[in-house]
């Protein structure tokens, strides 16, 4: 299933979840898809009405100054012209969003482009306001230069965070939806703002698993310059290797243990693992580490533990957001398979653990 199909299904599910909506008939779904492809132009009406109102006021002041002084009329005319320009710029930005950005199938690209579009819109509107307030551009530049110098010293951290946002946008160390680890924080990215990033924490102080903790963490974007960013959701290979280990006695039948663990793991994750590892091998072939041995099926290894037992370890590939569920189900099946032959698999018992 490709990314476009998954996004369409997710959008349909969200639509059905709203207020217990009923499933649409096929004809209704087709009409909704057609409306999505050709969005309604009703969004333009508020901008048209606002522009028409400003234009009407401008026409009235050109026709009659209503007893006001000429200097006051000139200022009003300048302010209204600026407001008309702002409305026009906002209408163009909205049109770009509706007819260009909204039609992109990549949700991350839509998110980033909307952020950039808002920033450009703010910059243009600020330029228009400055042009309206300061007729003398030399005085405006000098004033803004002094203000920028003062703010540059006072707002060093926000400025570095804004530069961090640009770095995140261009280099993409992480994107919305990725599972990351930065400093001592781990979680799923739900928002990347101009100054900070918001993640939905996983694990945390009260959990030992990768389950969401329910807490929201915000950190400044400048943190990407201060430490390593570990991304578990690399777009080219969004998977990680995981392990499950058991302590067994030296007298256990190691061939039976290895065969049983490999068979059960292969039944659980082996079919999808082959395709995933093939992609990983293709990626490795483009790097100097293509000599690395990577198996297409779950593997079992034995290691001497620090205590008096052997560690039987099964290694497999899994999506990081499904690691906890897969590990629970796989552990249950592995224990059942190994406990079926207590004469061949000796686990620690009672006070011998």
3-state secondary structure of 161: helix
Q: What is the mean pLDDT of the chain?
A: 79
The per-residue pLDDT for 180 is 93
Torsion of CA 53, 120, 179, 106, to 10 degrees: 70
Q: Which of 200, 173, 206 is nearest to 186 (CA)?
A: 200
The per-residue pLDDT for 289 is 66
The per-residue pLDDT for 278 is 77
Lowest mean pLDDT among 7-11, 63-67, 88-92, 242-246: 7-11
Nearest 5°: phi and psi at 207?
Answer: -130, 145
Q: Which of 188, 173, 176 is nearest to 226 (CA)?
A: 173
Q: What are the tens digits of pLDDT across the range 113-164?
A: 888 888 888 888 888 887 777 665 555 565 666 566 555 555 677 888 888 9
Strand 179-182 with 299-304, pairing? unpaired
The one-character DSSP state at 266 is: I
C-beta of residue 244 within 8 angstroms of C-beta of residue 334: yes
Q: What are the tens digits of pLDDT across the range 293-334?
A: 677 788 899 999 887 889 999 999 888 888 888 999 999 999
* Residue in the block written with tokens 């300061």: 134
Q: How far apart are the first and last CA of the chain?
A: 46
The DSSP code sequence of 217-247 is EEEEGGGGGTS-EEES--TT---EEEEEEEE
The DSSP code sequence of 12-77 is HHHHHHGGGPPPPPHHHHHHHHHHHHS--GGGGHHHHHHHHHHHHHHHHHHH--TT--HHHHHHHH
- 72-97 mean pLDDT: 87
The per-residue pLDDT for 188 is 93
The per-residue pLDDT for 28 is 42
Q: What are the tens digits of pLDDT across the range 14-50?
A: 444 443 344 344 444 344 444 455 566 788 888 889 8
């Amino acid at each position: 299933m490709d990314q476009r199909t998954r996004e369409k299904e997710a959008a349909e599910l969200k639509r059905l979840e709203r207020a217990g909506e009923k499933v649409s008939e096929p004809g209704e779904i087709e009409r909704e898809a057609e409306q999505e492809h050709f969005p309604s132009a009703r969004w333009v009406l508020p901008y048209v009405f606002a522009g028409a109102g400003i234009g009407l006021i401008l026409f009235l002041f050109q026709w009659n100054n209503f007893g006001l002084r000429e200097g006051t009329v000139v200022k009003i005319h300048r302010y209204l012209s600026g407001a008309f320009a702002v409305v026009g710029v906002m209408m163009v930005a909205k049109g770009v969003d509706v007819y260009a950005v909204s039609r992109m199938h990549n949700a991350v690209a839509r998110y980033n482009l909307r952020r950039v579009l808002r920033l450009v819109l703010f910059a243009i509107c600020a330029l228009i306001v400055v042009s309206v307030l300061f007729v003398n551009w030399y005085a405006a530049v000098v004033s803004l230069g002094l203000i920028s110098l003062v703010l540059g010293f006072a707002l060093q951290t926000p400025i570095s965070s804004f530069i961090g946002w640009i770095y995140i946008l261009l280099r993409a160390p992480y994107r919305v939806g990725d599972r990351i680890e930065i400093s001592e924080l781990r979680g799923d990215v739900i928002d990347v703002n101009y100054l900070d990033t918001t993640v939905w924490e996983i694990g945390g102080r009260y959990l030992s698993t990768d389950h969401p903790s329910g807490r929201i963490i915000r950190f400044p974007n400048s943190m990407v310059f201060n430490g390593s960013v570990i991304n578990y959701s690399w777009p080219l290979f969004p998977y990680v290797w995981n392990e499950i280990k058991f302590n067994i006695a030296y007298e256990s039948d190691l061939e039976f243990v290895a065969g049983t663990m490999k068979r059960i793991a292969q039944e659980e994750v082996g079919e999808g693992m082959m395709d995933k590892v093939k992609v990983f091998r293709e990626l490795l072939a483009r790097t100097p580490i293509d000599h690395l041995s990577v198996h297409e099926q779950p593997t079992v290894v034995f290691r001497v533990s620090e205590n008096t037992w052997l560690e039987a370890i099964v290694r497999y590939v899994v999506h990081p957001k499904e690691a906890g569920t897969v590990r629970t189900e796989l552990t249950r099946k592995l224990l059942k398979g190994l406990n079926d032959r207590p004469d061949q698999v000796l686990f620690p018992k009672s006070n011998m653990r």
